[in-house]
Amino acid sequence: QVTLRESGPAVVKPTQTLTLTCTFSGFSLNTARMCVSWVRQPPGKALEWLALIDGDDDKLYSTSLKTRLTISKGTSKDQVVLSMTDMDPMDTATYFCAKTHSSGWLEQWGQGTLVIVSS
């Protein structure tokens, strides 16, 4: 059974760097066929794809947020980490990680974690 869980701070201050961890089970991120994506959703708004990493450590980023995002494998083999710099109140959102098929659809999602950017 595939499960994913996001963790990180619930509140960050403007200009700070946000670091989120996705801890997963039921699959291994050890081949190019295995991928994990991050997606966010501001309150009441649509989904926005952020970044993807595959088992070969290849990465893909949203064009509009590329300069602020870093996705990486965690220190544990069952973790993926997303960092976003220079946080702004507009970045307030629920952040999801998702197991992503190598072709591109997001097969299984975590429950999401709400991050509020406020001073």
Partner 1 sequence: EIVLTQSPGTLSLPPGERATLSCRASQSLSSSYIAWYQQKPGQAPRLLMYTASTRATGIPDRFSGSGSGTDFTLTISRLEPEDFAVYYCQQYHNSFTFGGGTKVEIK
Partner residues linked to 4 by β-bridges: 24
86 binds partner 1 (CB under 8 A): no
**5 counts as binding partner 1 under rule CB under 8 A:** no
- Tell me: does residue 84 bind partner 1 (CB under 8 A): no
Nearer to partner 1, 13 or 66 (CB): 66
- Report if residue 116 touches partner 1, rule: CB under 8 A: no
The DSSP annotation for 81-117 comes to: EEEE-S--GGG-EEEEEEEEETTS-EEEE---EEEEE
Q: Does 46 bind partner 1 (CB under 8 A)?
A: yes
Is 37 among the residues that bind partner 1 (CB under 8 A)?
A: yes
108 binds partner 1 (CB under 8 A): yes
Q: Which residues contact 79 (CB under 8 A, 6 or more apart)?
A: 21, 22, 23, 24, 73
Phi, psi angles (nearest 5°) of residue 62: -60, 130
Name the residue type at position 97: C
Q: Which is nearer to partner 1, 4 or 87 (CB)?
A: 4
Residue 28 or 102: the one with the smaller Cβ distance to partner 1 is 102
Residue 49 has which token pair? 């794809």
Residues contributing to the site for partner 1 (CB under 8 A): 37, 39, 46-49, 52, 60, 62-64, 96, 101, 103-112
